[in-house]
Structure 1
């Protein structure tokens, strides 16, 4: 399975696009207090389709490839008019996916472009659970965003979440450590995805996405980790990171000053792209 983390330039481009569009009619947002913000990641889980993601008429994620999970972005709370186009067809063409997404203040959220149970493109926002985790425990969250029937999720061959349907999620607290997980058709032993080793770190929320299409036989797993959820005082929830299973690559936009630096880098990146296109 392959999950490619979006590069720094991609994250910077998103940050600057969001910065310059505040106040535009198609992307208007209220003036937010410093704590009225959210950490938002974006997962592209539509197989075989490179896309461009727009907010209103502003391009946020160009050439966004399947299996890509962005680093968290610090965004103002509000409504976002998200449009997903086939690569090169936006913003004047017909979007493959269009939806207004509400981003609540203070939330850690993931926006997922995926297939619904019937194989049609869909867009859903999930709020990631950043509540404290008891000592010695880890939180496991599983999200069904694949064109597939209901599934059971097993750990070590034992079902831990049963009858999970698209686009639902299930979560629970388990002992920290490495577990071998797989996804089977609900009520059967027919393996649809896996098995795969999941490293469930103490004081973390490991989020597993089952995505792709059962009919096209390209079902895959993507994982995301929100850490710093220890019950002890040293744990501070500060966002999550996108990572391939077995790869630890934490990335958090920790302050407005960092976001400003990313925005500046994104401006240079976008100007360079426009210059190359001219």
Structure 2
């Protein structure tokens, strides 16, 4: 029952994050002109504080559930991300990953750490759609 509630909470949070779509479902939707990619990380695993390593370097220390990182401006390319216990000395024993995140030039992304339906920790990369929405219109991506 506890896993069902936790997964339900994570799904609810993901549904609330309007404007996201899985990065692989929208690979050709570029907003850039050879500029940097923007990446935000969202921690949606309840009850676990973690550290986030990008390409082996500690990037987010003591990252708490329900938190968003500041937006990172990164050169386009593939980044190796590992999520570890908060007291880890390095990225050699990750809880999630390492996973490779491919970031396209000028695109805006959110990486979400969350639980699978089976209650296992994982991460998913979503591409954000920052295009303006017309007056009187809205956007919801589920």
For residues 91 and 83 of structure 2, the distance between their equivalents in structure 1, rounded to whole angstroms, comes to: 12
Over 6 Å off, 4+ runs: none
1:1-278, aligned counterparts within 5 Å? 35-91=34-90, 93-98=92-97, 99-141=99-141, 170=142
Using the TM superposition, give the Cα deviation of residue 36 of structure 1 relative to its aligned residue in structure 2, in angstroms: 2.8
How many residues are aligned here? Answer: 111
The 1:92/1:107 distance shift into structure 2, 3 A limit, reads closer
Q: CA shift at 1:133, angstroms? A: 1.8
Once the 2 structures are TM-superposed, how far is the Cα of residue 130 of structure 1 from its aligned partner? Answer: 2.1
- 1:113 Cα deviation (Å)? 0.8
Normalization by structure 2: what TM-score? 0.71
* CA distance in 2 between partners of 1:78 and 1:36 (Å): 12
Distance 1:138 1:71, change over 3 A: farther
CA RMSD in angstroms, aligned pairs only: 2.1
Decide which structure has the larger Cα Rg and report it: 1
Normalized per residue, the structure richer in strand is 1
Whether the 8 Å contact between 2:39 and 2:72 is mirrored in structure 1 is yes
For residue 90 of structure 1, report the CA deviation from its aligned partner: 3.7
Q: Per-residue CA shift, 1:30-87, capped at 9, x if unaligned?
A: xxxx833112111011111111100122100001011101232211111000000001
Considering Cα pairs closer than 8 Å and 6+ residues apart, tell me whether 1 or 2 has the greater RCO.
2
Q: Which residue of 2 aligns with 1:197?
A: none
**Does the 8 Å CA contact 2:84/2:91 hold for their aligned counterparts?**
no
Tell me the TM-score normalised to structure 1 length: 0.37
- 1:134-174 CA-partner distances (Å, limit 9, x unpaired): 22112123xxxxxxxxxxxxxxxxxxxxxxxxxxxx2xxxx
How many angstroms apart in 1 are the aligned matches of 2:125 and 2:89?
22
**Residue number in structure 1 paired with 2:27:** none
Residue 92 of structure 1: how far off its partner (Å): 5.3
Q: Mind listing any 5+ residue stretches in structure 1 that lack a counterpart?
A: 4-33, 142-169, 171-278
CA offset at residue 95 of structure 1? 0.4
- 3-state secondary structure, aligned to 2:139: strand
Looking at structure 2, the residues matched to 112 and 92 of structure 1 have their Cα atoms a distance apart, in angstroms, of 18
- Give the superposition deviation at 1:100: 0.7
